[in-house]
Chains A and B, each alone.
Chain A
């Protein structure tokens, strides 16, 4: 398939790439943008290691064709810190032991960032955090310290979006830009999983 030219911003920086239109956004980020913080754990939208925010909403970037990112604002794990200064969530993930092997950590941080942005300073309940992270598999931690870190960040940080999604400030994060109404972020894991278990 012929390559197309796509323009989008990643972590606030404008990018132009020439790629096959159906190349996975995950590969565009890792190969064409050199941002290898976003990981591949399964390639089928189950593990959430490749989670990024597309216009403020979390998606599994392994399921998003590049062409859908045209014109979008993308946030990856590399965009969470401000320069050398870590976000409260990043600091607390280290201090509270929420990262072990670290391969799921970028996806979890991005997903938790979305939750905290949406919560706008409110501290989400433990159950809420667990539900929000149910599309991000971690095999090391048992999730407890991740949940603790996210809630501690909500208590400490208040407005995480100030720092790492500079252009998202005015719009509600969930809102879809009008000109791409057809795009739908992939369903996250929890629903699929429950259905599957029911079938067995």
Chain B
């Protein structure tokens, strides 16, 4: 069922924008807010400059930390020399020997050190820390440290890693291998009349949150440590610091500051920078601030995994998929970080949202001497779905079938079974998003028109009817269909066992206590809506506590499209519990926010604090076998159908994007404007991935460390984006909501490539589609 859209009006009129100062007072506005785009509560401080990000915090007596990093990709550290000519007065130095606990950034495996000890495994790996009260002196001190290496031959490509040019990890350089099998793909491919084969590559990608990474650490005066900073997952940092300092949980405190974007880049890396700041603070006894500049941030922090995917597909003459044999390789970089889970999600999405009775997937992630790859919006799924979507277009071409029609014939519906044997029981919007995006974009008519126009232009050119100075511009339109599982993979949510709570503030306002962070998505607003609607109070009355490990329970990380869908449901249950408690206490309900507060204050006076805590409960009937990779990989999937129109210049190879239409099944849009904002933002980021963004490496170092040469889309590069919200409610999400954070990233790249393929008549199996790739592909087409 289609509901709100960017151009359509929301189901209820939004409340009047509130002024600052009206913030604390209960509002007379509606107690029904789910589905309404109330003004974003986080917005007011951000438009006035009042919001304080980590670099905005002034800490008296603070030192400024800098990091000495490896200049080579692989080698042994022979000697570290401090320039004797430099004045080292007031400089604090720390290396791995200063670590009171373990030299490890704890995550899945303990392979990554906080500071290199003896050997370096990637360029820009942290070796030594310096700090000084004057940031310029700290920087000068950093430059006065000389590291002598015994270089070793680095492994810089996936191919070299697979060929074991050097052995970096265990015996075979393979961080993780995943195999998924359904039916008998080999037999089906052997007997099929039509077999299509393709090989696809996707590059690494840098997050470019506009706020670089930063952290402030302070000794707490009682043998513990407190860090504040820009991060997604306070309890990841908490766990990592406990290991580095050998401290019990209560001696480590982690507080999120207003965070200027994350996209996965502030999922695991903040544990590293927090550990560095905390080590300098530990050693000096003073507060220490480390804020990266852009160059350091691009060079040293994690990237999206580069990938190569080979697919062989069997299909019948009617365009029904018979089999896929899929081989995925991802570049994990020098340390394992989150790579096994990224690979897993990639493999689980590798066959796309299509029914296929015989599927064999083999996915491997390998070690290289590049900076570690890590979490980035989509988490493996954009890479594999780029490949399968391009493959679907190759199949359509072979069958002379429209790509939209091929997708229509194979897309998931309720009752279909995935390669892991998961039956899709509910909330399957694949066909809806496909049809609605195609219809809104006028896909069929434009596809036909561009084909005619491009053929006519080619004829005119051959006939010599082509004016001098005339630009050879061609247009194309492409479609893609993707899905994305919400929440942690497999039994991940059960293992996380997230807890969230609600209590009452002293003045009788309901307060949400959870560790999930606002990093731009609107977490505070949406959780105020979920709690407010459940309690029967306006969203503005609800307080959402700052993520601070001293105050909030561990509701798990802000990742994996899980915050609203998984934690939102836990908070909804907390609110329902609080409502029941207060109704039982009063023997009646309340009409509005003021009524709630009166009752809440009476409860506080008579019975003391009220706190309701709930834990994650797995949906009934969900089962996952991690050893066999069988069962319900995710509670539910979201679906995105995307249509991209593009114009290519056949002489310069430049591609201009004209328009994007994207229909997304979000289950339920709790806040339509914010949901559309996630979709537009994810779409634009993926347009950059498809067309502009290339991490270039020279001798293992990221060569383009600036925004001058690592290019992300500007407002002028980004076309108008038309969002259609489709709502196929999920019975286990709050008010029917499913995850939406990552899904929109999966769809655009293959649709861009399809549009450029129609415009140019050339074929592309690698992104980004840079002008030089377009020109090479056009030259290859001429030779054919």
Contact = CB atoms under 8 A, between A and B. Distances in A.
A196 B709 contact: yes
B318 interface: no
Contacts of A200: 770-772
Nearest to B40: A94
Contacts of B677: 97, 100, 140-142, 145
B20 A76 contact: no
B683 interface: yes
Interface string A75-114: 0111011001110001101111101111111100100000
B715 A99 contact: no
A121 interface: no
A173 interface: no
Contacts of B522: 97, 100
B25 interface: no
B153 interface: no
B519 interface: yes
Nearest to B298: A42
B708 A136 contact: no
Interface string B340-368: 00000000000000000000000000000
Interface in A127-143: 129-131, 133-143
A42 to B, nearest CB: 4
Interface string B178-218: 00000000000000000000000000000111111000000
A87 to B, nearest CB: 9
A109 B45 CA distance: 13
A43 interface: yes
A165 interface: no
A35 interface: yes
A37 to B, nearest CB: 2
Given A44-B706, A102-B42, A103-B260, A84 B715 contact: no
A143 B210 contact: no
A94 B715 contact: no
Contacts of A95: 14, 17, 39
Q: Give the residue among B676, B715, B772 with the most A Cβ atoms within 10 A.
A: B715
A146 B715 contact: yes
A156 B494 CA distance: 50
A189 interface: yes
B576 interface: no
B46 A105 contact: yes
B294 A42 contact: yes
Interface in A27-59: 30, 35-44, 46-47, 49
B714 to A, nearest CB: 4
Contacts of B674: 97
**Chain B facing A: main interface SS:** loop
Given A102-B260, A140-B261, A86 B47 contact: yes
B747 to A, nearest CB: 13
B714 A193 contact: yes
B261 A139 contact: yes
B48 A97 contact: no
A114 to B, nearest CB: 14
A192 interface: yes
A126 interface: yes
B521 interface: yes
Contacts of A109: 47
Contact of B715 (A91, A102, A147, A192): A147
B683 A142 contact: yes
A152 B53 CA distance: 28
Interface string B516-559: 00011110000000000000000000000000000000000000
A5 interface: no
Nearest to A77: B49
Interface in A156-200: 189-190, 192-193, 196-197, 200
A141 B674 CA distance: 10
A95 B772 CA distance: 42
Nearest to B20: A84
A9 B19 CA distance: 27
Nearest to B688: A139
Nearest to A131: B716
A35 B520 contact: no
Interface string B697-719: 00000000011110110111110
Contacts of B210: 39, 41, 47, 49, 101, 103-104, 137-139
A46 B47 contact: no
Q: Give the residue among A40, A105, A139 with the most B Cβ atoms within 10 A.
A: A139
B716 A145 contact: no
A78 B158 CA distance: 49
A131 B51 CA distance: 27
Contacts of B784: none
Contacts of B676: 97, 145
B721 to A, nearest CB: 5
Contacts of B81: none
Q: Give the residue among B39, B522, B685, B718 with the most A Cβ atoms within 10 A.
A: B718
Contacts of A93: 43, 47
A42 B48 CA distance: 21
B40 to A, nearest CB: 6
B528 to A, nearest CB: 15
Nearest to B722: A144
A91 to B, nearest CB: 5
A130 B208 CA distance: 20
Contacts of A78: 48-49
B770 to A, nearest CB: 7
Contacts of B770: 200
Contacts of B521: 100
Contact of B19 (A37, A84, A104, A144): A84
A109 to B, nearest CB: 6
Contacts of B43: 93-94, 99, 102
A126 to B, nearest CB: 7
B263 interface: yes
B673 A145 contact: yes
Contacts of A97: 37, 40, 522, 673-674, 676-677
Contacts of A196: 708-709, 711
Interface string B102-146: 000000000000000000000000000000000000000000000
Nearest to A91: B17
Interface string A1-43: 0000000000000000000000000000010000111111111
Contacts of A46: 706-708
Q: Give the residue among B263, B674, B684 with the most A Cβ atoms within 10 A.
A: B684
B684 A142 contact: yes
Interface in B707-737: 707-709, 711-712, 714-718, 720-721
B258 interface: yes
B442 to A, nearest CB: 19
B209 A86 contact: no
B261 A101 contact: yes
Contact of B720 (A126, A138, A190, A197): A126
B405 interface: no
A3 to B, nearest CB: 14
Interface of B: 6, 14, 17, 19-21, 37, 39-40, 42-53, 55-56, 207-212, 258-263, 293-294, 519-522, 654, 673-674, 676-677, 680-685, 692, 706-709, 711-712, 714-718, 720-721, 770-772
Given A41-B210, A86-B44, A137-B210, 5 more contacts: A102-B46, A102-B260, A142-B677, A143-B718, A144-B718
Interface of A: 30, 35-44, 46-47, 49, 76-78, 80-81, 84-86, 90-91, 93-97, 99-106, 109, 126, 129-131, 133-147, 189-190, 192-193, 196-197, 200
30 contacts: A42-B294, A47-B210, A47-B294, A47-B707, A78-B48, A80-B48, A84-B19, A94-B17, A94-B44, A95-B39, A97-B676, A99-B47, A100-B677, A103-B211, A104-B210, A129-B715, A130-B715, A130-B718, A133-B716, A134-B715, A138-B715, A139-B685, A139-B712, A142-B677, A142-B682, A143-B680, A144-B718, A147-B715, A193-B714, A200-B771
Give the 3 A-B residue pairs with the shortest CB-CB distance, closest first.
Answer: A37-B49, A103-B260, A102-B46
